[in-house]
Structure 1
Amino acid sequence: MKVVFRGVEHGEAMLVIDAQRYSREERRHFINGASAKAVFGSGVYLVSNPEVAAHYAICHAETTWDKAAVLQQKLLVSRLFVLDRQYGENELRRDALAARHTNQELVGLQEKMTYQEWLEWTGGEVRSFLLDKGYQGIQYEISPELTYYICYQSDSCITDIALYAILDLQSFE
C-alpha cells in the first residue's frame, strides 16, 4: 500500500469522503471548456506528491468556482503496471496498439481522427490492453519526487480516503 494524493474541487472531495469512493474519473470536461486529459485512458489519476495534487486541485476548483481540496488515500499497488525511464508512456502505447491492431488499421484510424480524439482513443486502448493482462492500473515514476498512479479499478484499489488540505482560492487573490 502507498499513501497517494488527488486534487479535486471541495464539493467533489466531500462526496468522495462520504462515499469512500470516486464517482468521476479523470477524463473530464468542465463548464468553462477546459478538459483533463487522460492519456492512459479513463481512470482515477493520483500522485505521490501533495504539492502537485494541490496544483491539480486549484485547476479543478477554478473551473467550478469552488475551494480546492487535496485528498489522501491508500492505494494497493501490487497489480499496477510499472512505467519508468526505460519503458515509458510511448513504449506502452506502441505495444498496446501493436497488440490490438495492424499498422494499416492504425494509420486509417489516425487519419480519421482529430488529435484529441486520437489521444482519447489510444488512452482507451492502453487501458483495455492492461486490463486484459490483469493489471488494475499504472504506476509511472516521473522523477524521484513524483510518481503518477492511474487506477482503473478504484473500488478495489483505493481505501481510507481522507481530506489532506483545503485551499481557498479567494485567499490567493
Structure 2
Amino acid sequence: MKRTGYRGISFREAEQVVACQRYERMERRRFQGGIQARSIFGSGLYLISDAALAAQYAFCHAEAEGGERAAILKQEVNLERPLVINCRYSEMQLREDALDWKYKGKPLPNVRPEHIHAWLGRSTKEFALAHSFDGIVYHLDDSIIYYVAYFQDKQVRGIDLEYVFTLNGA
C-alpha cells in the first residue's frame, strides 16, 4: 500500500532529514504547555495524511527546539502488510488483543503511571510484528489517517520539503 505521508518538524531537523533521506528522532517529545507527542504504537516513524495537521506538529517541534522556522516534509510510505485500525477494529481492541497475546494467563506487570504509554506502545508493536504486520494505518476519520512505519529504511522514500514557515508568521 503506497501512500503520501507528511511529517511536521523544525526546519533545522528537516534540513538534516532531507539530506540523509532518513529521520533520526523518534516521535516521543514534550512540548511547551505540557503537550506531549507519544509513540502510542511503539517506536517507528509516524506520518499523517493531512499536511495542514502536520503543520501544527511542525510548529510545536520548532517551538520546543527554540527555532524560528518549521517545515512540513512530504514522502512516500509503502506498507506491505499494515495492521489497519478503523471503525471495525479500534485502537482499544488492538491494545486488548496485544495485552491478551503477551500476558495470557499471566498477571500484568506493575507499570508506573508515567511509563504506561511507552509500555503499551512496546507491547502493541511486539504484537503487530509477531503477527507479520510491518506498520499501522490508523483511520481517525475519513480524511485523517496516521501511518506508522516500523522499518523506515525500507518503507519510506522521496523525503522532500513540502512547505517551510516561520513561527511569527512573517
Normalising by the residue count of structure 1, what TM-score does the alignment of the two structures yield?
Answer: 0.90
Report 1:11-160 matches (<5 A): 11-29=12-30, 35-66=36-67, 67-102=69-104, 104-106=106-108, 109=109, 112-160=110-158
How far apart, CA to CA, are the structure 1 residues paired with 2:166 and 2:131?
42
Contact 2:31 2:60 in 1 (8 A): no
Segments of structure 1 that go 5 or more residues without pairing to the other structure are none
How far apart, CA to CA, are the structure 1 residues paired with 2:124 and 2:25?
19
Deviation at 1:80, TM superposition (A): 1.3
How far apart, CA to CA, are the structure 2 residues paired with 1:154 and 1:76?
10
Q: Give CA deviations for 1:67-117 in whole Å, capped at 9, x if unaligned.
A: 1110000010322111101211110010011011136521xx2xx323331
RMSD: 1.8
- Whether 1:7 aligns to 2:8 is yes
Give the stretch that moved more between structures: 54-63 or 163-172.
Answer: 163-172
Deviation at 1:144, TM superposition (A): 1.2
Contact 1:34 1:63 in 2 (8 A): no
Identical amino acids, percent of aligned pairs: 35
Say if 1:163 and 1:57 are closer, same or farther in 2 by CA, change over 3 A: same
How far apart, CA to CA, are the structure 1 residues paired with 2:50 and 2:32?
27
- Which amino acid in the other structure matches residue 84 of structure 2? V
Segments of structure 2 that go 5 or more residues without pairing to the other structure are none
How far apart, CA to CA, are the structure 2 residues paired with 1:152 and 1:28?
18
User: Any idea what SS the aligned residue of 1:24 has?
Assistant: coil
